[in-house]
């Protein structure tokens, strides 16, 4: 074979990834379950580079130079297993199967283990950036063996997005499922970012009394500052858009029920297992879920509560500036929590993930790309043992400076009856971390009362139990 890489699964992500490889000078073998799609790709984009269209699994494998690199771009779950089962028997030791879908990292770990026994490298690769990213340069998070990265890495570096300093947005994240794990957390953070932006919008609309057009302007303005990011940029675009059919703001004709394909939910499920408080991501998942409960919402519209009273022009402008502070502070908390999960995952699964390198890879190409990520990279690179992003001097100072406005925004939301679970939970997290004492002491005492679950003391070592049903004396529990 002559193709340096092959792509099977030519739906939009696979097609664009294949084109990206070809545009960068690689010969790309193509395969799809229905051959019409393969032919279509070559007809429409054949002049972009060297493609080798194939119609059978055997021809596809034969078209690849050895060791073979075969990218599968199919739906996560059973379809991915089916494609692996189709191709693995045709491969030889040293070949690579590269899964560029949004696979669950536990599946990736299992597949990697099974294929390793057959001498095949299974490389789970997180790819972010949607269709455009896949074509023009995504952020790429490869897991798998270090050996696989030796040959695959340089190719990924070619097709990846580039940060402002020219560095390709990809790096070997760690073995087996590390890449898909980090992509999962990326998506969790994506959910949190989107929720915080939605809350800012809701407040500017209901409390500041701004029109969607005015909010678009406000976001464009924010996008020139420290919130500079892709998600803020597209939010402004969406809000400035008018529905061609009705002439109404587009955002007003979209049904207010947010869906999800599951990666945010996975992030929270895994965080619960790892014992990591990713409350911002969890609230974002719950907010989408709540929005989808049409019946529950319908039956609750008559519940009493305040109706937001829009502010006058000057107060509105002042409030908008406070919302920017609340959004920024909450965003710092989301990333603090996300990076905590990456560190915890790395420890639990035996990956040696470099948080600064992850931040670097997220600087361009992916959905959460933002100026902010370069600063996170600097924070972790300066102090690789940084216990938390909030331990970084600069972030701590910024959040400290934002907190008065942040508190005011959360208080106003509560008073005016505008739900801001993301802002509120981020603030609660911040205050819980600051607190010298938490009421967890009381929780432990209650547990000891009803279940003899024991407690530790502040003044000496050991575990203790109080005889609550007896004379209330204390016994040592080891
Ligand atoms: C990306 C996106 C991408 C996809 C999400 C959407 O990084 O390019 O995250 O992976 O758009 O899966 O997720 P939901 O459908 O769950 O919102």
Give pLDDT tens digits for 28-79.
999 999 999 999 999 999 999 999 999 999 999 999 999 999 999 999 999 9
Q: Tell how far the Cα of 187 is from the centroid of ligand 1, in angstroms.
A: 6
- Of 55, 58, 112, 190, the active-site residue reads 190
Give the CA angle between residues 388, 358, 360 to the nearest 5°: 105
Cα end-to-end span (Å), the chain: 67
Which among 124, 130, 180, 368 is the best mutation to test ligand 1's pocket, defined by most ligand atoms within 8 Å of the CB?
130
Answer whether residue 384 shows pLDDT above 90. no
Q: What residues does 461 pair with on adjacent strands?
A: none
Residues 270-314 have pLDDT tens digits of: 999 999 999 999 999 999 999 999 999 999 999 999 999 899 999
Q: What residues does 229 pair with on adjacent strands?
A: 370
Report the Cα 240 to chain-centroid distance in Å.
26
Cα→Cα distances 353→100, 123, 403, Å: 19, 16, 31
Is 148 annotated as belonging to a binding site? no
Residues 315-370 have pLDDT tens digits of: 999 999 999 999 999 999 999 999 999 999 999 999 999 999 999 999 999 999 99
Q: Which atom of ligand 1 is nearest to the CA of 262?
A: 16
Q: Where are the alpha helices (DSSP H) in 71-177?
A: 78-87, 105-117, 130-136, 146-159
- Strand pairing class (51-53; 28-31): parallel
- Mean pLDDT confidence for 204-213: 98
Ligand 1, atom 17, lies closest to the CA of: 260
On the 0-12 / 13-18 / 19+ scale of CB atoms within 10 A, 310 is: middle
Q: Tell how far the Cα of 88 is from the centroid of ligand 1, in angstroms.
A: 28
Q: Which residue is associated with the tokens 């990809």?
A: 170
- Strand pairing class (69-72; 5-8): parallel
Instruction: Please state which of the ranges 174-178, 193-197, 352-356, 381-385 shows the lowest mean pLDDT.
Output: 381-385
**pTM assigned to the model:** 0.97
**ipTM for the complex shown:** 0.96
Q: Where are the alpha helices (DSSP H) in 350-385?
A: 355-361, 372-382
**pLDDT for the residue 381:** 96
- Mean pLDDT confidence for 130-145: 97
Q: Is 183 a catalytic residue?
A: yes
- Of 183, 283, 324, 331, the active-site residue reads 183
Q: Tell how far the Cα of 141 is from the centroid of ligand 1, in angstroms.
A: 14
Q: Is 55 a catalytic residue?
A: no
């Amino acid at each position: 074979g002559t193709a340096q890489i092959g792509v099977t699964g030519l739906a939009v992500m696979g097609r664009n990834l294949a084109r990206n490889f070809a545009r960068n000078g690689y010969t790309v073998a193509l395969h799809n379950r229905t051959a019409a799609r393969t032919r279509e790709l070559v007809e429409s984009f054949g002049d972009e580079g060297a493609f080798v269209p194939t119609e059978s699994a055997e021809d596809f494998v034969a078209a690849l130079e050895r060791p073979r690199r075969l990218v599968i771009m199919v739906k996560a779950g059973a379809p991915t297993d089916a494609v692996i089962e189709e191709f693995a028997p045709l491969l030889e030791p040293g070949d690579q199967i590269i899964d560029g879908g949004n696979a669950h990292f536990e599946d990736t770990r299992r597949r990697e283990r099974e294929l390793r026994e057959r001498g095949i490298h299974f490389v789970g690769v997180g790819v972010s950036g949607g269709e455009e990213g896949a074509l023009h340069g995504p952020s790429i998070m490869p897991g798998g063996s270090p050996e696989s990265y030796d040959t695959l890495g340089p190719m990924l570096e070619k097709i990846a997005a580039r940060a402002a300093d020219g560095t390709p947005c990809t790096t070997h994240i760690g073995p087996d499922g590390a890449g898909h794990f980090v992509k999962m957390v990326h998506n969790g953070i994506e959910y949190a970012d989107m929720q915080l932006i939605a809350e800012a919008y809701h407040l500017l609309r209901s409390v500041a009394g701004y029109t969607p057009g005015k909010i678009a302007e406000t976001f464009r303005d924010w996008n020139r500052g420290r919130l500079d990011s892709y998600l803020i940029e597209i939010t402004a675009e969406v809000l400035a858009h008018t529905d061609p059919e009705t002439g109404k703001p587009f955002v007003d004709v979209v049904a207010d029920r947010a869906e999800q394909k599951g990666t945010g939910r996975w992030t929270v499920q895994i965080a619960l297992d790892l014992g990591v408080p990713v409350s911002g991501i969890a609230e974002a998942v719950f907010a989408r879920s709540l929005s989808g409960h049409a019946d529950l919402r319908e039956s609750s519209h008559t519940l009493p509560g305040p109706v937001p009273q829009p502010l006058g022009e000057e107060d509105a402008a002042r409030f908008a500036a406070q919302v920017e502070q609340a959004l920024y502070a909450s965003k710092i908390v989301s990333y603090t929590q996300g990076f905590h999960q990456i560190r915890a995952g790395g420890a639990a699964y035996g990956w040696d993930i470099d948080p600064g390198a992850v931040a670097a890879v997220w600087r361009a190409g992916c959905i959460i790309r933002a100026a902010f990520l370069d600063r996170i990279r600097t924070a972790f690179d300066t102090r690789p043992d940084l216990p938390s992003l909030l331990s970084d001097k600069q972030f701590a100072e910024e959040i400290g400076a934002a907190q008065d406005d942040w508190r005011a925004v959360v208080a106003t939301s509560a008073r005016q009856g505008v739900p801001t679970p993301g802002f509120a939970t981020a603030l609660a997290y911040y205050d819980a971390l600051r607190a010298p004492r938490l009421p967890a002491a009381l929780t432990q005492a209650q547990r000891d009362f009803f279940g003899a679950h024991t407690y530790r003391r502040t003044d000496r070592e050991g575990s203790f139990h109080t005889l609550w049903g007896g004379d209330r004396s204390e016994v040592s529990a080891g």
